[in-house]
Amino acid sequence: MGDSESESEAPKVKLRPIVRLGMFLISHSHLLSVVCCTAGVLTLLLLPLLAKNTYISENALMPGSANPMLSSQEVSEANGLVKDLTNLDLKPMASGIESQRLIAQYMSNLGAEVSFQKFYPQSNQFHPLHFFSSPDSATIRENISCSSFGLNTVGIIRAPRGDGKEAIVLVTPYNSEKIGLGEALSLGIAYSVFSLLTRVTWLAKDIIWVVADSKYGEYAAVDAWLRDYYIPVFSGLGTQYAEMCHGLEENTITERNMRDGFKRAGTMAAALVIKVVDRSEQFEDSLSIYAEASNGQMPNLDLINIVNYLAVHRQGLRIKVEKMWSLLNCKWLMILGEILESLGHLAKSLNPQWKFGIPAADYVEGTATLASSLYYQALGIPTGPHGAFRDYQVDAITLEISSRVSSNNKGRQNDFLLRGGRLIEGVIRSVNNLLEKFHQSFFLYLLTSPSKFLSVGVYMIAFALLVASLPMVAASLYAHANNLDPSFEKNKSNHPASAANELGITLRSWKWLYAAKKVLVVHLWGAVVLLLPYFICQIPNCTPTTSFVVWVLLSIFSLLILFWILGSPFYYVNASQPQQREWALLKSVTISAAFIGLCLMSVINFATAEIGALLMVPMCLMAHPLKLDVKSRKLRKFSRVACNLALGFIGFPPTAFLVFKGVFEGFDGISVSDFWNWLESIWAWSSATYLYIGMIHLPCWILCIHVILHPC
């Protein structure tokens, strides 16, 4: 940023190469920034082309090397459980705890250790202060009502060959109040695998089967179990709650089991969440993989690879990952895909070694998958109960198997249970082979199809190109603002002895401090805006729209107050100085702040930073005072004005959200309350995206608007 300043010093002396390079970059910053931005966007569009096929990186996994041992015997046992569960559901007077007791009975019949875990649902709360710390046992437990609690059933098989230090987790969420067929089937699959694993000799890691009570949400149940597993409460809170809620429970077997204490196995190597959904509209069984955890964290790619390999090559299931469906019918994407395909053909005809073309349909599909991958990572909300595991550095995915099974088709149900069970068995057998925790393959990647991925080294290029223009433009603006001072050139020509003029120069290099102060104040305001929803939520009976309006009003009010308190000295000081270049310095500091913020965010959550950069970089680069443009009546300047206004409109977070929502889902029925709801959801999940919007995006937008409307 400061490289430019060497320009002013001794122009005749031959400068060092790095300084000359810096000067070159600064003098051509306009051209280079346009080139960089376009290259960044183009690379983003080319990403599906650059995706590589996945491969299993860890040799120890050896998926599919052993024949599946799951036989019809286990399946018939599982069928029994499924039938019992569905019958239980048909009984009208079944108490809530009945199903858990049934499952526990089945588990202990297999010889597993069974325990129950009681938990109280708690609402998600936003702790900005806990963002950088470990998961904390001292999370605020408030609003616990003793009558509403969930009960997880946990069964553990001790491995005959293990030392009890490691474990693999199976999770089957189900609603204990109303058990659907799909949930019963998922329990059946897990049970068949579980019963097989009690008999096998090769098991080296303990198996934990968590039957999570999803009465209050799947995530909450799994999260509660994990918290108890990893952060034992020795005294205080635990007993306190036990005492608080005592007297409500009958003294049953479950109660006695609960008193036995919480059962543990070793550290978790991997966790699989199994779900079955009933989708009768599909013709074949398929498997959807959900992997995104909080803040765009992903499990190790090897875990997805094993599942993918076994499902496709062994069980013949169709694998799906989430897609943006609206992109599939996009005209321009199709055209782009065709162009790229023909380019690929052309390249191939020139040199058969070059193989980068993919069919247009694949390209569109890859783009849709990539877009959804980016979107779900950027949201920072876990896509399933597997997200809870990632907070404890356990790799986990959700496998959602969709079937066409109906309860009266016995044969089909058996086949389904067999295939699902064998898939799970294979995955567990592979993970069982692991010597260390997953570390070989990637953690930072984006999927473009179940068997294609983009590693961090590739997708970072797109972001880096996009962002690279920011420091260049900031440096050039800074250099111009400093060098174009009229007093400076006079100084050189006049006799240098006059000390009064020296004064002007000496203060020159610190003039950016005023702009930095302004930027700092606006970023502080961003933090205030972030905290406001916490108070607005306390207002009872608030519709989303009114909340949003209150929020906006309070934000504007706080901005005015902040400027009144802290910002006023700024105008006072600057009144004496020429304001001509003030906006340039302000823009330079804004761009630097945006650069730092985006780089920071790309480390925390890449997808947010990428989407944010797409919105913010053009806005920051284009910002130019309207007054100057309008004064000179030229077409080029007017186009810049139009660009500025358009980018300023789209850069405002609510409008950006609504426009994107409109484009993807249609414009009818959109209102500002959608934005509030969306924001509330990412706020409740304490997603870093929320911090990004408030601390980086919004302040930069305000500053850009300030530059555009600058009275120079």
Partner 1 sequence: MEGKEQSKKKESWYWNWLIGSVALRVILVYFSNNLNLASRPEISTPLTSLRRLAEGYWLKQSSMSPYAGSMYHGSPLLLSLLGPLTAKRIEGQPDHILCSLVFVIADVVSAMFIRATGRNLQIAYSQSLKFLDLVKLSEKSDILPSGDIAALVYLWNPFTIVACVGLSTSPVENLAIILSLYGACRRIAPLAAFGWVMATHLSLYPVILIIPMILLLGYGPDTPPRKLFLQKKYVEVGDTPSNDRCLQEEAVDQPELPYVFSWRPVIHFLFWTSLWLVYVLVLCGVSVKQYGGLWELFKRTYGFMLTVQDLSPNMGVLWYFFAEVFDFFRNFFLIVFHGNILFMILPLAIRLKHRPFFLAFVYIVISSMLKSYPSVGDSALYLGLLGLFVNELADMKFSFFLFCGYIGVSLLSPVMHNLWIWRGTGNANFYFATAMAYACLQIILVVESVSAMLNHDRKLRKLSATKVLDGKT
Interaction mask 134-163, partner 1, x per CB under 8 A = x-----------------------------
Q: How far apart are CA 209 and CA 170, in angstroms?
A: 5
Among the listed residues 10, 13, 248, 603, the single contact to partner 1 using CB under 8 A = 603
Minimum distance, C-beta of residue 399 to partner 1, in the bound complex (Å): 22
Q: Considering the complex, state which of residue 373 and residue 413 has its C-beta at the smaller distance from partner 1.
A: 373
Percentages (nearest 5) of helix, strand, coil residues in the chain: 60, 10, 30
If binding is defined by CB under 8 A, does position 516 make contact with partner 1? yes
CA neighbor of 474 nearest in space, from 596, 641, 645, 580: 596
> What's the Rg (C-alpha) of the chain?
30
CA neighbor of 460 nearest in space, from 302, 340, 613: 613
* Beta carbons of 115 and 257 less than 8 angstroms apart: yes
Only one of the segments 103-111, 502-510, 571-579, 647-655 lies at the binding site for partner 1 (rule: CB under 8 A); that segment is: 502-510
Only one of the segments 87-95, 125-133, 265-273, 671-679 lies at the binding site for partner 1 (rule: CB under 8 A); that segment is: 125-133
If binding is defined by CB under 8 A, does position 502 make contact with partner 1? yes
Among the listed residues 10, 31, 350, 499, the single contact to partner 1 using CB under 8 A = 499
SS3 category, 287 = strand
Q: How far apart are CA 490 and CA 498, in angstroms?
A: 12
Minimum distance, C-beta of residue 126 to partner 1, in the bound complex (Å): 13
CA neighbor of 649 nearest in space, from 670, 622, 628: 622
Only one of the segments 2-10, 329-337, 424-432, 646-654 lies at the binding site for partner 1 (rule: CB under 8 A); that segment is: 2-10
The amino acid that residue 256 corresponds to is R
Among the listed residues 59, 123, 133, 143, the single contact to partner 1 using CB under 8 A = 133
Distances in whole angstroms, Cα of residue 627 to Cα of each of 282, 478, 623, 706: 60, 21, 12, 12
Q: Alpha helices of 51-150 — where are they, by DSSP H?
A: 72-90, 98-109
Among the listed residues 62, 146, 339, 503, the single contact to partner 1 using CB under 8 A = 503
If binding is defined by CB under 8 A, does position 13 make contact with partner 1? no
Minimum distance, C-beta of residue 551 to partner 1, in the bound complex (Å): 24
Only one of the segments 165-173, 190-198, 531-539, 589-597 lies at the binding site for partner 1 (rule: CB under 8 A); that segment is: 589-597
Q: Considering the complex, state which of residue 2 and residue 232 has its C-beta at the smaller distance from partner 1.
A: 2
Residue 306 phi/psi, 5° resolution? Answer: -60, -50
Among the listed residues 600, 672, 684, 705, the single contact to partner 1 using CB under 8 A = 600
Please name every residue paired with 180 in a beta bridge, in sequence order, or none if there are none.
Answer: none
Q: Considering the complex, state which of residue 132 and residue 283 has its C-beta at the smaller distance from partner 1.
A: 132
Q: How far apart are CA 417 and CA 77, in angstroms?
A: 11
If binding is defined by CB under 8 A, does position 566 make contact with partner 1? no
If binding is defined by CB under 8 A, does position 2 make contact with partner 1? yes
If binding is defined by CB under 8 A, does position 132 make contact with partner 1? yes
Tokens of 475: 């440096």
Q: How far apart are CA 622 and CA 643, in angstroms?
A: 8
Q: Considering the complex, state which of residue 401 and residue 586 has its C-beta at the smaller distance from partner 1.
A: 586
Q: Considering the complex, state which of residue 290 and residue 512 has its C-beta at the smaller distance from partner 1.
A: 512
Among the listed residues 18, 21, 244, 507, the single contact to partner 1 using CB under 8 A = 507
Q: Considering the complex, state which of residue 133 and residue 145 has its C-beta at the smaller distance from partner 1.
A: 133
Among the listed residues 109, 509, 580, 671, the single contact to partner 1 using CB under 8 A = 509
Residue 509 phi/psi, 5° resolution? Answer: -75, -5
Distances in whole angstroms, Cα of residue 7 to Cα of each of 23, 130, 350, 670: 7, 46, 47, 53
Q: How many residues of this chain bind partner 1 (CB under 8 A)?
A: 37
Only one of the segments 44-52, 73-81, 595-603, 645-653 lies at the binding site for partner 1 (rule: CB under 8 A); that segment is: 595-603
Place of tokens 């995530």: 219
If binding is defined by CB under 8 A, does position 129 make contact with partner 1? yes
Which residues, in sequence order, are CB contacts of 8 under 8 Å at separation 6+?
482, 483, 488
Show contacts with partner 1 in window 375-394 (CB under 8 A): 393
If binding is defined by CB under 8 A, does position 464 make contact with partner 1? no
Q: Considering the complex, state which of residue 510 and residue 572 has its C-beta at the smaller distance from partner 1.
A: 510
If binding is defined by CB under 8 A, does position 6 make contact with partner 1? yes
Minimum distance, C-beta of residue 206 to partner 1, in the bound complex (Å): 21
Among the listed residues 106, 478, 690, 692, the single contact to partner 1 using CB under 8 A = 478
If binding is defined by CB under 8 A, does position 506 make contact with partner 1? yes
Q: Considering the complex, state which of residue 97 and residue 598 has its C-beta at the smaller distance from partner 1.
A: 598
Q: How far apart are CA 611 and CA 378, in angstroms?
A: 8
CA neighbor of 209 nearest in space, from 230, 191, 234: 191
Among the listed residues 500, 538, 576, 669, the single contact to partner 1 using CB under 8 A = 500
Minimum distance, C-beta of residue 269 to partner 1, in the bound complex (Å): 13
* Beta carbons of 319 and 285 less than 8 angstroms apart: no
Q: Considering the complex, state which of residue 61 and residue 589 has its C-beta at the smaller distance from partner 1.
A: 589
Q: Considering the complex, state which of residue 189 and residue 613 has its C-beta at the smaller distance from partner 1.
A: 613
CA atoms within 13 A on the CB side of 161: 10
If binding is defined by CB under 8 A, does position 436 make contact with partner 1? no
Among the listed residues 283, 510, 564, 572, the single contact to partner 1 using CB under 8 A = 510
**CA geometry: angle 552, 555, 556, nearest 5 deg:** 90
Helices vs. strands in the chain: H and E counts, helices first: 28, 11
If binding is defined by CB under 8 A, does position 543 make contact with partner 1? no
Chain centre distance of CA 494: 60
Minimum distance, C-beta of residue 670 to partner 1, in the bound complex (Å): 35
Q: Considering the complex, state which of residue 31 and residue 129 has its C-beta at the smaller distance from partner 1.
A: 129
Show contacts with partner 1 in window 282-301 (CB under 8 A): 297
If binding is defined by CB under 8 A, does position 592 make contact with partner 1? yes
If binding is defined by CB under 8 A, does position 444 make contact with partner 1? yes
SS3 category, 114 = strand
Which residues, in sequence order, are CB contacts of 198 under 8 Å at separation 6+?
110, 111, 112, 157
Only one of the segments 236-244, 283-291, 554-562, 584-592 lies at the binding site for partner 1 (rule: CB under 8 A); that segment is: 584-592
* Beta carbons of 450 and 308 less than 8 angstroms apart: yes
Only one of the segments 90-98, 131-139, 161-169, 309-317 lies at the binding site for partner 1 (rule: CB under 8 A); that segment is: 131-139
Helix/strand/coil (H/E/C) assignment for every residue in 562-621? HHHHHHHHHHHHHCCCCCCCHHHHHHHHHHHHHHHHHHHHHHHCHHHHHHHHHHHHHHHH
Only one of the segments 369-377, 494-502, 538-546, 671-679 lies at the binding site for partner 1 (rule: CB under 8 A); that segment is: 494-502
If binding is defined by CB under 8 A, does position 488 make contact with partner 1? no
Helix (H) or strand (E) segment spanning residue 638: helix 635-651
Helix/strand/coil (H/E/C) assignment for every residue in 175-201? CCCCCCHHHHHHHHHHHHHHHHHCCCC
Give the interface with partner 1 as residue ranges (CB under 8 A): 1-3, 5-6, 129, 132-134, 297, 393, 443-444, 478, 495-497, 499-500, 502-503, 505-510, 512, 516, 588-589, 592, 596, 599-600, 603-604
